Structure 1
Amino acid sequence: VLLTEEDFYDLTMAYLKKAQEDNVVHTEIFFDPQTHTARGVAFDTVVRGITRALDDGEKQMGISSQLIMCFLRHLDEKSAQKTLDYALDYKDKIIGVGLDSSELGNPPNKFSNVFKRAQNEGFLTVAHAGEEGPAKYVWEAIDLLKVMRIDHGIKSIDDKKLVAELVRRQIPLTVCPLSNLKLRVVSDMKYHPIKRMLDKNMMVTINSDDPSYFGGYVNQNYIEVARALNLTKDDIHLLAKNSFTSSFLSDAKKKNYIDKVDVMDKELR
């Protein structure tokens, strides 16, 4: 049970060590403070434990990181507003806000006010949409919440107009294949739409979601998709580059990492 600052530190460090094994160099981590504050754990305890580990992870492993606070969508917007209040003291630690938890029956429009306020406070914004929920939720996330990035978003492929809009605006979609399989959003990895999304020039990336729960860290997600969909080296090269393009790193850091991906791609040909 996560109770103390050290508990959150240990959990975060355990993740970073696994990420290091997968040769991850940058990670943008989500956390759900409401899960813990509802149990009487102080918001400060959660954030301090996580961010101390992230700082040590960069010093000890060379993994840079950014922290995104998510609102639990099965709770009401009032609870989200209170959570945002807590986050205001940590703008130097938390770069953005997101939306996760049970998607069906909890559309993005439920949180339009808190997202507007978060943007006014200078936070970047993302939202889970279009995994278990319909393509309509993706529309709401980009039009009402005005998010910069969609988490999951695979149901977007069902709406041609939405696909065209996502391509036009190059809004990233952080796709999590093993999560999709575990939640039975796809019945078999061979039916996963990520290859079709890539072929339509959608800005898709491969991610691990909750890796310990869904059965694999980021490399395993790449492996499972590559095997099931017969991805080419060009596909994998583009997915790796997209992950940096879609990140919240500075343009200079994005270019640095993308250049490294290009060099490695040439070496492996």
Structure 2
Amino acid sequence: MQTQPLDMQSFISNMPKAELHVHLEGTLEPELSFALAAKNNIPLEFDTPEQLIAAYDFHDLPSFLKIYYAGMNVLINQEDFYQLTFDYLTKAASENIVYVELFFDPQAHTSRGVSFETIITGIHKAQLDAEDALGIRSQLIMCFLRELSAESAMEHLKLAMPYLPWLVGVGLDSNEKDNPPAKFAEVFAKARALDLKLTMHCDVNQLDTLTNIKQCLDDIQVDRIDHGVNALQDPALLKKIQQQQMGLTVCPVSNRFVVQSLTSKEVRQMLEQNILVTINSDDPAYFRAYLNENFIELQREGQFSTQDIVTMVENAFKVAWLKDSEINQYLAQVSQYARHVLKPSPTAHA
């Protein structure tokens, strides 16, 4: 008995996976952007989708956010949010993603005059239809824009009250500079009282990021941290993350735009220290890489083993905001897949 050479790309692509860190607005592909712009009579600065992609020249978080927010202007009607969501879930299902926790940024739309009801209803209908048609399950996380006021965040939490059954948690994203987690302590405490899960972005190599991670753990008491790579620099923070079995949602390709690295060394360190590190795509339409591409590029750079890949996929299910019984069902799928693919193959005697 011996094993045949394994195609890592195929191994990754065909494995059942979960994605926990993907911004719905960050899945807006250029072709859909142009279609919605034409439908809604929204002028664009570019003549073709190819020209738009060529403008994706990001070198740090602010340069990305400038284009990211401009791109949202084409989202106007319930049907637009439906199409955006259904298109992403279709793509995710094609990559054998079976479960997703989706971020969305309502403030970026209500500030343009789009109603909260329009946004969340379009998204929710697409989630239901995608689960029915494609078998992909998803839950929704409402993010607050950290450069806006805490009062605005609280206002949007109140707008979400009629739709609480459609939400699994709240998050905090966008420009981290001068916008620490503590700024939003009251709104996150309110969200927890509403039985919503809590997560916050602590982007890689941002100013005061270690202070922000500490606030996430001690003051806000989040259930997960998005990114959080810099926790490796502080043994005390790392120990807390280990003890609390807290998931970190790392996004390799988007990290490369900010720090010119897929952070494969850091991911390796997390695995070695039994941190529940997960791999995600962040804003795949802008970074031109969905979840499979993130895993494949990370594996190539860091030479991760099949067991490393399985562990990271399992981690995502372990820290997903699901019932234990549901988590165990997904873990069984991953285990069954790995056993089937990695089982020894009989070979003829010479």
Q: Would you say same fold, with TM above 0.5?
A: yes
Aligned to 1:138: 213
Aligned to 2:154: 81
Which of 251, 255, 258 is 2:324 aligned to? Answer: 251
Aligned to 2:283: 210
Q: Displacement of 1:20 after TM fit?
A: 1.1
In structure 2, how many angstroms separate the alpha carbons of the residues matched to 1:89 and 1:190?
A: 40
Aligned to 1:150: 225
Deviation sequence 1:200-244 (CA, Å, 0-9, x none): 100110011111112211111100110000001110010011110
CA contact (8 A) 1:103 1:132 kept: no
Return structure 1 stretches of 4+ with deviation > 4 angstroms: none
1:108 aligned partner, one-letter code: P
Q: How does 1:41-60 map to 2 (within 5 A)?
A: 41-60=114-133
Q: Displacement of 1:120 after TM fit?
A: 1.1
Which of 241, 249, 262 is 1:166 aligned to? Answer: 241
Q: Displacement of 1:61 after TM fit?
A: 0.3
Gaps of 5+ in 2: 1-73, 343-350
Q: TM-score w.r.t. structure 1 length?
A: 0.97
Q: TM-score w.r.t. structure 2 length?
A: 0.75
User: Cα RMSD between the aligned structures?
Assistant: 1.1
In structure 2, how many angstroms separate the alpha carbons of the residues matched to 1:25 and 1:191?
A: 25
CA contact (8 A) 1:28 1:67 kept: yes
Q: Displacement of 1:106 after TM fit?
A: 1.2
CA contact (8 A) 1:181 1:189 kept: yes
1:176 aligned partner, one-letter code: C
Q: How does 1:158-197 map to 2 (within 5 A)?
A: 158-182=233-257, 184-185=258-259, 187-189=260-262, 192-197=265-270
CA contact (8 A) 1:177 1:192 kept: no
Gaps of 5+ in 1: none
Deviation sequence 1:131-164 (CA, Å, 0-9, x none): 2432221111121111101011111111111111
CA contact (8 A) 2:99 2:136 kept: yes
CA contact (8 A) 1:190 1:228 kept: no
Q: Displacement of 1:249 after TM fit?
A: 1.4
Q: Displacement of 1:130 after TM fit?
A: 4.2
Aligned to 1:10: 83
In structure 2, how many angstroms separate the alpha carbons of the residues matched to 1:238 and 1:268?
A: 15
1:245 aligned partner, one-letter code: K
Give aligned-pair identity as a percent: 41
In structure 1, how many angstroms separate the alpha carbons of the residues matched to 2:281 and 2:302?
A: 18
Deviation sequence 1:54-79 (CA, Å, 0-9, x none): 00010000001100000000111011
Q: Displacement of 1:17 after TM fit?
A: 1.1
Higher RCO (CA < 8 A, seq sep 6+): 2
Mark the CA change 1:25 to 1:191 in structure 2 (over 3 Å): closer, same or farther.
Answer: closer
CA contact (8 A) 1:13 1:57 kept: yes
Deviation sequence 1:69-128 (CA, Å, 0-9, x none): 000001110110111110111111011110000112211111111101111122111111
In structure 2, how many angstroms separate the alpha carbons of the residues matched to 1:235 and 1:191?
A: 12
2:190 aligned partner, one-letter code: R
